[in-house]
Amino acid sequence: AGRSGSRPAGGRALGAGCRRQKMAAGGGPGRFFCTAGRGMEPFLAQEVRARLGATEVDCVSGKVFFSTEAEPGELRKLKSGERLFLLLKRQPPLAVSRDRGRMLHEMRSLVLEEPESWLDVLSVWRNLPGGKGQKGGACEESQLPLKRKAEETNGATKRLKAEQVREVVSEESQAEAGEKWVAAESSRGEECWAEGKTCSGKPPQGSGEQPAGQEQPSFRVSCRCSGAVAKVLSSQELGRALGTALMKQFGWRADLRDPELEVFVHLNDIHTVVGIPLFRLSLASREYIRTAGLRSTIAWAMASLAEISAGACVLDPMCGLGTILLEAATEWPDASYWGADISDSQLEGADVNIKTAGLGDKIELLKASVKALPWPSESFDAVISDIPFGKKFKITQDIQLLPDVLQEMERVLRVGGTAVLLLSQELHRRMDGLTQGAAQHSPEAAHGGTSGAVPGAQALGSNGKSSSLLDGAEESFLGSTQTPCGSLVPDGVYGVSLGKTAAFIHKYRKVSTAGNP
């Protein structure tokens, strides 16, 4: 159990998973899975172990499966995941053949072969807070903005809203690019499902055993498929087959627009997964953030790498809307936090967020340039920052400014302290020359190893470029031997996704006084 990347043994083994859900209705461990943005799976796997005491933890691309006895209130506290589901079935991928009818029959068999497993999970769902009777409760999608720091304009609110409209990317595109969610139509009520209306008329008499006196839920099927199966059948066809089987078997009522229950189905070349969402909103939707900036899950992961302890002083010298500070202060409240930014509009937005979160006594903001921070040397135990991605400056300008920015961060960081930076793909590629002198202090780091806070994370390490291979733009500020931040030792690099944008979290540890590596 818990072997990363292992494939389920088959449909019959899935019966055991369904029996675990039956135990959950009586207070035993339940089986769940949570979606995650690309690169966030190791962070989520560690979090479910540490926060929920989870067992049987298994990571695959875009998902983490686990078992836990935690209550829904504890599950809702997960910070690094996207959507959380009760696991109904997990089995090998749908067999692909030229016989489309056979494939659709196998899809319907997800219901017909073990109907009791669906009733077991439905029973668990009914007992969850916000389950039965909460219209649209578990199936309303949450789409949060994934935007970078914006250009300064007059009117912070207008600018921020415009950025959100331009750059909203759903969590599904984070987890698996190019796949689409489809609410599948029922063959019985195809026309009204296609129009997004509730099917009228008396639902068909279900053949499955139903608890006496319980009204059957309205539902929809959200089907997503990729790989070989997507080349033969569409998500609509596969979802329709499953929806029809559910209606005939249990008498559930199809409702595309405002269902009580959502059935999530994901088919790819790795597995077939069926689940029911636990919560209406994504876990990444933070009630304490008024205006979203950096994706909250990424901000939390960065803060988790900073190793924040009680009494620590933490700085974000380019805080923007304050998302990193909010995530850190919420999770590690016994530290003190400072945020700086040169933009008035960003600071206004951060101030609103901090007041909304009730963290005014934990986080202090001030206007300052990251190239001239107003604190004495070695003032902070951790520096965490999202480096701008070329919006405020051109890429070449960012490259030329990067040494000054890093040197100032290095200056205010205490020896033994940790720096955690989020970089674009281009800046990530050019980082080695800035800290390569420090690699001599850590042979493991020089070879791409990591001792970060997330065991098992994909540590990308250095790209192996020597200064002689740097292009002209880099040589203009690095020279052949210059290492501007020689006291910062690389301590892990983690590739993550910001929707359509690839990014990299770099972790460093300061091993000596700046300028004396």
Q: What is the DSSP letter of 62?
A: T
In a domain, 46, yes or no: no
Task: Write down the pLDDT at residue 121.
Answer: 84
Structure tokens at 232: 């033969």
Sign of CA dihedral 118, 121, 123, 126: negative
Instruction: Give the pLDDT confidence score for residue 430 in this predicted structure.
Output: 75
Assigned domain for 263 exists: no
In a domain, 79, yes or no: no
Whose tokens are 């720096």? That residue is 419
In a domain, 367, yes or no: yes
Helix (H/G/I), strand (E/B), else coil: 367: strand
- Which two tokens mark 354? 């901090």
Angstrom distances, CA of residue 285 to CA of 120, 144, 296? 29, 7, 8
Dihedrals phi, psi of 318, to nearest 5 degrees: -135, 65
- The answer to whether 384 and 420 have CB atoms below 8 angstroms apart is yes
Rounded CA separation 229/237 (Å): 11
Q: In whole angstroms, what is the distance from residue 50 CA to residue 94 CA? A: 34
| Two structure tokens written together for 193 | 């499902």
pLDDT of residue 403: 83
475 within a domain of the structure (yes/no): no
Record the pTM. 0.75
Residue-range definition of the domain harbouring residue 328: 296-436+488-510
Whole-number pLDDT of residue 515:
58
C-alpha to C-alpha distance for 234 and 355, rounded to whole angstroms? 47
317 and 340 Cβ atoms separated by less than 8 Å: yes
| Number of domains forming the structure of the chain | 1
Closest CA to 220 of 196, 184, 190: 184
Domain membership flag for residue 371: yes
**pLDDT value of position 337:** 98
pLDDT at res. 21: 47
pLDDT in tens, the chain (517 residues): 333 333 333 333 333 344 444 444 444 568 999 999 999 999 999 999 999 999 999 999 999 999 999 988 899 999 999 999 999 999 999 889 888 899 999 888 888 888 888 888 888 888 776 544 344 444 444 333 333 343 333 444 444 444 333 333 333 344 443 333 344 433 333 333 322 333 333 444 444 555 555 678 899 999 999 999 999 989 999 999 999 999 999 999 999 888 989 999 999 999 999 999 998 889 999 988 988 889 999 999 999 999 999 999 999 999 999 999 999 999 999 999 999 999 999 999 999 999 999 999 999 999 999 999 999 999 999 999 998 765 544 445 556 677 888 899 999 999 999 999 999 888 888 776 565 444 444 433 333 343 334 433 443 333 333 222 223 333 333 333 345 567 899 999 999 998 888 999 999 999 988 555 4
* DSSP string covering 260-274: SEEEEEEE-SS-EEE
* CATH number assigned to the domain comprising residue 363: 3.40.50.150
Cβ–Cβ < 8 Å for 305, 505? yes
Contact status, residue 282 vs residue 82, Cβ threshold 8 Å: yes
36 three-class SS:
coil
DSSP string, 143-208: --B---PPPP-S-HHHHHHHHHHHHB--HHHHHSTT---EEPPPSTTHHHHHTT-PPPSPPPPP-S
The pair of three-digit structure tokens given for residue 428, joined into one six-digit string = 């990530």
Give pLDDT, residue 432. Answer: 64
Report the alpha-carbon distance of residue 165 to residue 378 in Å, rounded. 40
Please indicate, yes or no, if residue 329 is contained in any of the structural domains: yes
Residue 110's CB is within 10 A of a number of other CB atoms, namely 24
Question: What gap in Å lies between CA 333 and CA 327, rounded to an integer?
Answer: 10
Residue 80 covered by a domain: no
Q: Which two tokens stand for residue 479?
A: 């020279």
Distance CA 329, CA 344 (A): 22
Using DSSP, how many helices (H) and how many strands (E) does the chain show? 17, 16
Residue 274 β-bridge partners: 89, 265
